[in-house]
Amino acid sequence: MTDIDNSVIQEVAGKVALVTGAASGIGKAIALLLHGRGAKVVAEDLNPAVEELARPGLVPLVADITADGAAERAVELAVQTFGRLDILVNNAGVIINKLVVDMTREDWERIHAVNATAAFLHAREAVKAMMPNGAGAIINIASYAAYFAFPTIAAYAASKGALAQLTRTLALEAIEHGIRVNAIGVGDVVTNILNDVVEDGPGFLAQHGEAAPIGRAARPEEIAEVVAFLASDRASFMVGSIVMADGGMTVTAG
């Protein structure tokens, strides 16, 4: 992938964005790309490392996105700091690799709390903030696992399937207010999401990505590019779409 000069592309200039799971990986790439293209950004993450992103026009927020009131505080911070909210990116995600028979209820509920429930809560509050403006964009980071599965990812696949359906339903409810809701079906991306599951998470994902027709995993910045497009007015006719950015994985799956 060729690096793009963000000073030339200003597709989200003047907009205000909230990005969850922004301390590393895809979320960090999204926050930095949107900021680099002219948006003001609130970057939210449980990991205090998100504070390293602080700079003019980019405000970090250390918070547990699953906690009661977290979504309200994040949206309020964006509105109070920058005057409005135009873009929400529900990026935060976790995974567990266990067979269903080995999984506890706590395992299941933790995955859904982050991947689905927190996205619902943040989307609900974002829509409330966007409605008076008559415009807005919500982008949910889903997965190819919303469409197919393999052993040990039941909780993750179910949560991403829920996120895909939340995207479609909310899209129908929100478009009358000028708010577009879409999602990205992400494939293997070289991040740290599997670090608690395997010894070398990024290495595992890089290797697993070789099974895709494109022959590799993605860089976080490649997913951020799709987010920037969906957040911009260039995607003005896209409503309730699940845009697949998976290197062709879902084309061959099944």
Catalytic residue list: 156
Q: Amino acid identity, residue 228?
A: A
Q: What are the E-state strand segments in the chain?
A: 16-20, 40-45, 58-62, 87-90, 136-143, 179-186, 242-245
Q: How many helices (H) and strands (E) does the chain have?
A: 8, 7
Q: Distance between alpha carbon 205 and the CA centroid of its chain, in Å? A: 18
| Amino acid at site 242 | I
Please name the residue that has the structure tokens 């957040």: 231
Pairing of strands 242-245, 87-90: unpaired
Residue with tokens 């509920």: 109
Q: How many CB atoms lie within 10 A of CB 219?
A: 15
- The rounded distance, in Å, linking the Cα atoms of 147 and 106 is 24
